[in-house]
């Protein structure tokens, strides 16, 4: 059974999520891939304001396809998360509480997840059309020149994800592998 969670996330919510939990996310999430993350950290380095408030927010690592007529968004499957590992700890320090992607994260990111009471979720790769059905509104809020890699503000309803790394540092990928190692 999936747990229903709402954004923005709080420490109370993130600390009650555990590696392996299935969730349905409701509320606002933001998109961002490597080019957008690089720009966000450059803004922070220059002491400039970010295009959206990070506190309690979730970033989905996706570059959605263009919407077909009558649709809010095109296919919206996750991209490989490790490409954001160099930027993620800085954003978590600024209040980011959740990240959605696919694949393993570095030790530095897992340590930052624990330190900042954040959560890393996975969305099913290859299921972008199904995931897009949970997206009810989409608007570009920053870096429009990046096209599909711009930052979108998404309103989601029952967006399915699985907790991979939790606030205690448990990592579902490592837990799963350990069951079959000799």
Which of the residues are catalytic?
Answer: 37
Give the tokens for residue 101: 């992607």
Hey, CA dihedral for 91, 95, 100, 103, is it positive or negative?
positive
What does the alpha-carbon distance between residue 110 and residue 158 come to, in Å, rounded to a whole number? 26
Phi, psi of 112, rounded to the nearest 5 degrees: -70, -35
What does the alpha-carbon distance between residue 65 and residue 132 come to, in Å, rounded to a whole number? 10
What does the alpha-carbon distance between residue 142 and residue 48 come to, in Å, rounded to a whole number? 14
What does the alpha-carbon distance between residue 170 and residue 39 come to, in Å, rounded to a whole number? 30
Place of tokens 């996975």: 122
What does the alpha-carbon distance between residue 93 and residue 55 come to, in Å, rounded to a whole number? 9
Pairing of strands 98-101, 119-122: parallel
């Amino acid at each position: 059974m999936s747990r229903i969670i709402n954004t923005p996330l709080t420490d109370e919510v993130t600390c009650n999520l555990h590696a392996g939990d299935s969730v349905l996310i409701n509320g606002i999430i933001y998109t961002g891939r490597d080019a957008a993350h690089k720009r966000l950290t450059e803004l922070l380095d220059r002491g400039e304001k970010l295009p959206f408030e990070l506190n309690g927010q979730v970033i989905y690592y996706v570059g959605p396809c263009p919407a077909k007529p009558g649709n809010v968004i095109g296919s919206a499957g996750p991209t490989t998360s490790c490409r954001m590992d160099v930027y993620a700890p800085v954003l978590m320090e600024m209040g980011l509480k959740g990240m959605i992607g696919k694949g393993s994260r570095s030790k530095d990111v897992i340590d930052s997840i624990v330190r900042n009471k954040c959560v890393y979720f996975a969305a099913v790769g290859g299921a972008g059309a199904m995931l897009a059905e949970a997206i009810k509104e989409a608007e570009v809020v920053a870096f429009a020149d990046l096209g599909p890699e711009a930052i979108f503000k998404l309103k989601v309803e029952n967006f399915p994800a699985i907790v991979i790394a939790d606030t205690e540092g448990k990592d579902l990928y490592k837990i799963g592998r350990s069951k079959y190692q000799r």
